Amino acid sequence: MWGVVTVVFLLLRLSGDPISVVAPPDATVEMIAALRQAYGFDQPLYVQYTRYIAGILQGDFGVSFQYGQPAIMIVIQRLGATMSLATAAMALAIVLALPLGFLSARYRDRPLDHVLMSLAMLGNTMPTFLLGIVLILVFALWLGIAPTGGAGSLAHYVLPTVTISLATAANLARMTRSEVLETLGKPFIRTARAKRLPFRRLVTAHILKNAAIPIVTVAGLQFGALLSGAIVTETVFGWPGLGTLVLEAIGRRDYSVVQAAVCITALIFVVLNAAIDAVYQLLDPRIKVV
Amino acid sequence: MSRAPAPILSVRDLHVRLWTKFGVVRAVNGVSLDLAPGEVLGIVGESGSGKSIAMLAVMGLLDAALVDAVAGSVTVGDRSWNDLTEIEAWSSRSEDLAMIFQDAQTALNPVLTIEAQIVETLKARHGLGRKEARARAIKLLEAVRIPDPQRCLSSYPHQLSGGMCQRVMIAMAVGCEPKVLIADEPTTALDVTVQAQILNLISEIQRESGMSLVIISHDLGVIASIADRVHVMYAGRIVEKGTVQDVFAAPRHPYTQALLACTTRVDDEAAAPRAIPGALPDMREAISGCPFRDRCPIVLPICATEDPELDAVEGHAAACWRMPGADP
């Protein structure tokens, strides 16, 4: 975490002078100097850095130039929108990917498998902006059954959720297929068949539980990526999420917002990884994570 | 000899062709066998002789993705299967058959406790409730001489030794109360002292329960110590059959003779083990004639053209043109 915090700080300082963006074009030299002083940019780098770290430790990332509010507040607001979208998309992706990946494995090299895996390849390679625009065109403009963009009602979730989840689901389905196939070749599956277990028990306890670890890993990482903001999708649908916020903040050299967003994202990744490790242990008793 | 009772397991003209990375292999070529109730049948043969594949086909446990063709018929008790490909890909053939495998540690699910694995078996087979199943599981573990059944139940396979895992496998198989237990090289992955214990255990349980046992092994000693009758397999077919005493004391097929010559004898230090020259024939081709002729020391002209039949008569028989009465 400290590494992330420091790198963000240094990179941002290299990116140019924020005051030149904040200050009105006709600002006098005195005004600029005053602004610089107000935000502490007149201090040497190490002083800025010490203040910055001290602030973070107290949960204070400074004030946004752009919004005049504490940066952390702005980030958390946007994070809510991103999180709900990411969670919806991930849930849909899992619901789609697990059964389809499993079916594909079961009917390996049969027509169903080829169709599903071709679709998965398509889902994987289709750029989200294209998919998003196509969806808007069909469902919002032609059929008029979903809003084109923005956020607010439940209906606003549909198109962006589908857009994000299709790519994720495609990836997960391919993963599920290969893991299930690998598990099917294991000797204990033959034992389970010899025991004449009910189909359901065979699939859940024996196949899926053993195939789960790599699937959970990929799902977790993708969830993390979604949480840091799906910039393209957010832009296409005008979704007020973290991705667009950061993009905007970088453009305006809104240091404190970028710093806050990156730190929160890093924190999310750390928490998520810990959660995935915890899930590993639940799934496989042979794994002991300290 | 008294009239043999109706066989509990009967296999007729079993053929199996499997996909491998080298092409389609004719793994089993016309295997027929009968197993009487309470009988112990040993099947010996080297790796690739088709002994495990034949029994997996009987169980209905071949990997459907690898099967090119399965033909023949299997009768268990009064139920028959004539179309062997027609099994649901996810379950095995009959409740009256159970099977234990080579490496018990990998044959048990690594992510479930022993309790979960035994209990699910008992639930599926006998419809027991959780509590009854657990109580029965403890009984079963005691029966296979596991010292601390309670602790064993809460363990995962990786926490147990190979011998313990094989005992658990046996307990699970016995819990199904099968009429026939098929043991596929049950002691191969174990060290020698444990091998003896497991063999004794299997033998005792077989005698106590009165079930029939098919034991597959490449180890002649294992077969000799446990089986009543023995079938010798070579290149996917049975080349000699008979009681253990007959076959081991007076082997008739040159392959069996060569196989026995491979073993070391403790009482005769001068007799060094002799390897069989050559290798198994290419199993991708349909073999015309005797499959052993290229390695056979007493080959006849007819061996290259016609496949000797295994006499259907009961008792000691070998599929070889040198047999008395096997005149072309």
Residue A211 counted as domain residue: yes
**Residues A26, A111 within the same domain:** no
What is the three-state SS of A145-166? CCCCCCCCCCHHHHHHHHHHHH
Residues of chain B contacting residue A209, judged by C-beta atoms under 8 Å apart:
109, 111-112
**Residues A11, A143 within the same domain:** no
Nearest CB neighbour to A188, from listed B107, B120, B156: B107
Number of domains in chain A: 2
Which residue is closest to A194 within chain B, CA to CA? B92
Nearest CB neighbour to A188, from listed B90, B109, B124: B109
Residue A65 counted as domain residue: no
Residues A167-200 pLDDT 10s: 889 999 999 999 999 998 889 999 998 888 888 8
Nearest CB neighbour to B111, from listed A194, A198, A209: A209
Nearest CB neighbour to B124, from listed A185, A198, A210: A198
**Residues A195, A244 within the same domain:** yes
Residue A289 counted as domain residue: no
* CB-CB contact of B226 with B199 (8 Å): yes
CA B22/CA B27 separation, integer angstroms: 13
Q: pLDDT value at position A46?
A: 83
Q: What is the DSSP string of B120-152?
A: HHHHHHH---HHHHHHHHHHHHHHTT-S-HHHH
Mean pLDDT for chain A?
84
Which residue is closest to A110 within chain B, CA to CA? B65
Nearest CB neighbour to A193, from listed B90, B95, B156: B90
**Residues A51, A106 within the same domain:** no
**What are A's interface residues with B at a Cβ cutoff of 8 A?**
108-109, 184-188, 190-199, 201-202, 205-206, 209-210, 283-286
**Residues A12, A91 within the same domain:** no
Residues A193-241 pLDDT 10s: 888 888 888 888 899 999 988 899 889 888 888 887 678 888 888 888 8
Provide the domain limits for residue A30: 2-57
**Residues A80, A203 within the same domain:** yes
**Residues A15, A131 within the same domain:** no
**Residues A165, A250 within the same domain:** yes
**Residues A138, A253 within the same domain:** yes
**Residues A129, A10 within the same domain:** no
Residues of chain A contacting residue B113, judged by C-beta atoms under 8 Å apart:
285
Is the CB of B109 less than 8 angstroms away from the CB of A197? no
Residue A94 counted as domain residue: yes
Q: Which tokens go with A164?
A: 């994000």
CA B207/CA B291 separation, integer angstroms: 37
Percent of chain A exceeding pLDDT 90 equals: 16
- More confident: A86 or A20: A86
ipTM over 0.90: no
H or E element that contains B203: helix B192-209
Residues of chain B contacting residue A206, judged by C-beta atoms under 8 Å apart:
109, 112
Residue A67 counted as domain residue: no
- pTM, 2 dp: 0.80
Cα torsion for B214, B79, B236, B326, to the nearest 10°? 100
Interface of B with A in 148-177 (CB under 8 A): 156, 158, 169, 172-173, 176
Specify the amino acid at residue A15. S
Residue A247 counted as domain residue: yes
Residues of chain A contacting residue B169, judged by C-beta atoms under 8 Å apart:
191
Give the CATH number, domain containing residue A271: 1.10.3720.10
Is the CB of B101 less than 8 angstroms away from the CB of A286? no
**Residues A104, A150 within the same domain:** yes
* CB-CB contact of B93 with B40 (8 Å): no
Q: Whose structure tokens read 């490449």?
A: B218
Residue A66 counted as domain residue: no
CA B183/CA B212 separation, integer angstroms: 11
Is the CB of B95 less than 8 angstroms away from the CB of A209? no
Per-residue DSSP letter, A111: H
Residue A63 counted as domain residue: no
Residues of chain B contacting residue A193, judged by C-beta atoms under 8 Å apart:
61, 90-92
Residues of chain B contacting residue A194, judged by C-beta atoms under 8 Å apart:
59, 61, 92, 98-99, 173
**Residues A159, A274 within the same domain:** yes
Is the CB of B120 less than 8 angstroms away from the CB of A205? yes
Per-residue pLDDT tens listing for chain B (328 residues): 445 578 899 999 999 999 888 888 899 988 999 999 999 999 998 888 889 999 999 998 888 778 888 999 999 888 888 888 777 667 778 788 999 998 888 999 999 999 999 999 999 888 888 899 999 999 999 999 999 999 999 999 999 999 999 999 999 999 999 999 999 999 887 888 899 999 999 999 999 999 999 999 988 888 998 999 999 999 898 999 999 999 998 888 889 988 888 776 666 666 666 778 777 788 887 778 888 888 888 888 888 888 887 766 667 888 888 776 555 4
Q: Which tokens go with B172?
A: 């699970």
Nearest CB neighbour to A194, from listed B98, B120, B156: B98
What Å distances lie between residue A91 and A94, A167, B94, B147, B299, CA to CA?
Answer: 5, 13, 40, 46, 70
